[in-house]
């Protein structure tokens, strides 16, 4: 440690020096949660219930943010990586239980699966709503990181062959979770399935095994589609969400034409309006935002789009803060991905930490960009929120866990990153810096009257 660091006294402006985690990630987290609070103040009026005011909305979001920041700080202060390894091995079991409760439509006084928009995605546990798919995303990233690291170190029990262990601990959980998500959401199944596939690939999956796993996933999708096709005309079709997904991708109904062809007030007209209301209003919001936006609280599309604070948060940001605000949000998520790659690279020989950081950063950034693509009408609606900005208590807490783990693991890499920064070569080599400094000292002595002009000329100044 240098003398300057030893002599530096702690103060208000130097408190950040005592944080061991990655400071860039800390800044990204703080900026995202600040965006969340500001956006909640002027977003969708659908959130206002029972005489609530917008200040009440901000207060509620502020409490959620405090809870999320508490989770981040608690996880950040856990220095024992064995604790995270132990928790991660239960990620598959937790995901299996939660998805199982959804799929059987559990209905108990203190535990109930909620049907929202003809799909079961949320569990109400003693009144607190848990978005199960958000939990599964984080839990499966942690589980797969643990399983691949344990496989690498030969710590897994079961079949003697490596392939048998891969099937038991990696490929079977992948397919099971993928199938269990489909009844609630096709898009979430594809997103989480792709994330798990990438995690296994990053963990060292070979080309042959990954090809077989991909073909197995395609076969499972084919079987599910066959079951849906065979039962779609019955009262309770199997995997009914498949029909919703097909309709969104291959929809042949021209809703704009139906709006023009059907008289106002008819059922057909109203159905057509409802079908295009949200995506079209989101595009209007982007168009009206322009370069600098309408300003905080000036959004008009929030009165049209009921899910503005969730599924269409990015279009709302552009409407109020313009293209500048939208680019700034993109910059935050891209910076997280870039910083995550640096942290993962500097985790030394800890394979588990590397995979965990890489997987969580890919999860956060990937979901953010998927949200943005949907808001820009690139691809069908997926219902994915903007991490740490969109409204949603359980989603906010799940992403807080992800950031807390990233910051905790960044401690492993912080010393390596600092060393790498110190050893980096300067952009400009200053070989003659001592001579230049001597001349500057002589010039200062002359201006202060401590040196006469003759001495100054003798020194070449």
DSSP per-residue string spanning 395-430: HHHHHHHHHHHHHHHHHHHHHHHHHHHHHSPPSS--
pLDDT greater at residue 287 or residue 430: 287
Q: Are 172 and 296 members of one domain?
A: yes
Strands 128-131 and 120-125, by their bridges, are: antiparallel
Can you give the pLDDT at residue 170? 92
Residue 213, number of CB atoms within 10 A of its CB = 21
Which of 79-83, 230-234, 346-350, 403-407 shows the lowest mean pLDDT across its residues?
230-234
User: Contact, 103 vs 183, CB < 8 A?
Assistant: yes
Give the mean model confidence (pLDDT) for residues 48-67: 76
Considering the chain, what is the average pLDDT of its residues? 79
Can you give the pLDDT at residue 1? 47
14 found inside a domain:
no
Q: Are 296 and 239 members of one domain?
A: yes
Which of 33-37, 95-99, 262-266 shows the lowest mean pLDDT across its residues?
262-266
Q: Are 238 and 113 members of one domain?
A: yes
Q: Are 445 and 417 members of one domain?
A: no
Can you give the pLDDT at residue 420? 60
Greatest mean pLDDT among 50-64, 246-260, 280-294, 407-421 lies in 280-294
Burial call 30-43: b when 16+ CB within 10 Å, e when fewer: ebbbebbbbbbebb
Q: Residue 17 — very low, low, confident or very high, per pLDDT cuts 50/70/90?
A: low
Q: Are 448 and 385 members of one domain?
A: no
pLDDT greater at residue 181 or residue 378: 181
Give pTM, 2 decimals: 0.79
| 238: containing domain | 21-424
Greatest mean pLDDT among 74-78, 181-185, 199-203, 204-208 lies in 74-78
Measured CA to CA, the distance from residue 394 to residue 255 in angstroms comes to 34
**CA-based nearest residue to 75, from 393, 344, 401:** 401
pLDDT higher than 80, residue 81: yes
Secondary structure (3-state) at 122: strand
Measured CA to CA, the distance from residue 192 to residue 177 in angstroms comes to 9
User: Contact, 402 vs 363, CB < 8 A?
Assistant: yes
12 found inside a domain:
no
Q: Are 158 and 295 members of one domain?
A: yes
Which of 95-99, 381-385, 400-404 shows the lowest mean pLDDT across its residues?
381-385
Give the mean model confidence (pLDDT) for residues 119-131: 85
Range list of H helices, 122-266: 132-153, 162-166, 172-181, 186-202, 207-231, 241-250, 255-261
What is the 8-class DSSP label of residue 120? E
Task: Quote the number of domains for the chain.
Answer: 2
Give the mean model confidence (pLDDT) for residues 158-163: 85
pLDDT higher than 80, residue 73: yes
Give the mean model confidence (pLDDT) for residues 6-25: 62
2 found inside a domain:
no
Which of 272-276, 301-305, 452-456 shows the lowest mean pLDDT across its residues?
452-456
**CA-based nearest residue to 323, from 281, 294, 293, 285:** 293
Can you give the pLDDT at residue 177? 93
Q: Are 329 and 444 members of one domain?
A: no
**CA-based nearest residue to 169, from 190, 191, 132, 196:** 196
74 found inside a domain:
yes
Starting at the edge strand found earlier in the chain, the sheet holding 128-131 runs: 111-115, 120-125, 128-131
398 found inside a domain:
yes
Q: For CA atoms 7, 11, 15, 16, give the dihedral sign.
A: negative
Residue 115 φ then ψ, to 5°:
-95, 110
Q: Residue 432 — very low, low, confident or very high, per pLDDT cuts 50/70/90?
A: very low
Secondary structure (3-state) at 283: helix
Q: For CA atoms 150, 151, 153, 155, give the dihedral sign.
A: positive
- Per residue in 323-335, pLDDT (tens digit) is 898 999 999 999 9
Measured CA to CA, the distance from residue 31 to residue 34 in angstroms comes to 5
**CA-based nearest residue to 41, from 327, 302, 393, 367:** 302
Q: Residue 93 — very low, low, confident or very high, per pLDDT cuts 50/70/90?
A: very high
296 found inside a domain:
yes
Give the mean model confidence (pLDDT) for residues 5-19: 53
Which of 281-295, 377-391, 447-461 shows the lowest mean pLDDT across its residues?
447-461
């Amino acid at each position: 440690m240098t003398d300057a660091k030893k002599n530096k006294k702690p103060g208000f402006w130097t408190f950040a020096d005592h944080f061991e985690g990655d400071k860039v990630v800390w800044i990204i987290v703080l900026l995202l949660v600040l965006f969340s609070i500001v956006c909640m103040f002027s977003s969708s009026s659908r959130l206002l219930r029972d005489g609530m005011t917008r200040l009440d909305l901000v207060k509620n979001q502020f409490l959620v943010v405090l809870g999320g920041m508490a989770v981040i700080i608690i996880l950040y202060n856990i220095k024992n990586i064995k604790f995270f390894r132990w928790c991660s091995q239960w990620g598959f079991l937790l995901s299996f239980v939660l998805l199982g409760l959804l799929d059987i439509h559990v209905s108990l006084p203190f535990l109930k699966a909620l049907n929202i928009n003809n799909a079961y995605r949320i569990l109400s546990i003693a009144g607190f709503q848990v978005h199960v798919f958000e939990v599964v995303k984080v839990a499966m990233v942690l589980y797969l990181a643990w399983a691949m690291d344990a496989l690498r170190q030969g710590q897994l029990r079961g079949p003697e062959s490596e392939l048998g262990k891969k099937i038991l601990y990696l490929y079977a959980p992948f397919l099971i979770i993928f199938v269990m998500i489909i009844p609630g959401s096709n898009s979430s199944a594809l997103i989480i399935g792709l994330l798990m596939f990438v995690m296994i690939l990053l963990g060292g999956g070979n080309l042959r095994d990954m090809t077989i796993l991909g073909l197995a996933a395609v076969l499972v999708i084919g079987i599910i589609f066959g079951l849906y096709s065979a039962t779609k005309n019955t009262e309770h079709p199997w995997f009914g969400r498949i029909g919703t997904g097909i309709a969104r991708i291959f929809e042949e109904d021209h809703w704009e034409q139906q709006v023009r062809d059907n008289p106002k007030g008819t059922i057909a007209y109203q159905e057509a309006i409802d079908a295009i209301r949200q995506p079209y209003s989101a595009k209007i919001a982007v168009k009206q935002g322009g370069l600098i936006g309408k300003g905080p609280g000036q959004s008009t599309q929030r009165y049209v789009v009921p899910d503005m604070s969730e599924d269409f948060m990015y279009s709302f940001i552009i409407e109020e803060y313009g293209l500048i605000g939208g680019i700034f949000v993109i910059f935050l998520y891209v910076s997280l991905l870039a910083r995550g790659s640096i942290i993962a690279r500097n985790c030394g020989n800890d394979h588990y930490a590397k995979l965990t950081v890489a997987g969580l950063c890919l999860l956060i950034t990937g979901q953010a960009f998927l949200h943005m693509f949907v808001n820009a009408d690139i691809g069908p609606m997926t219902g994915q929120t903007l991490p740490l900005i969109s409204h949603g208590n359980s989603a906010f807490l799940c992403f807080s866990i992800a950031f807390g783990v990233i910051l905790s693991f960044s401690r492993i890499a912080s010393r390596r990153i600092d060393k790498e920064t110190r050893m980096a070569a300067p952009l400009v080599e200053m070989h003659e810096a001592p001579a230049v400094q001597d001349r500057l000292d002589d010039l200062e002595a002359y201006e202060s009257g401590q040196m006469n002009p003759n001495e100054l000329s003798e020194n070449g100044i």
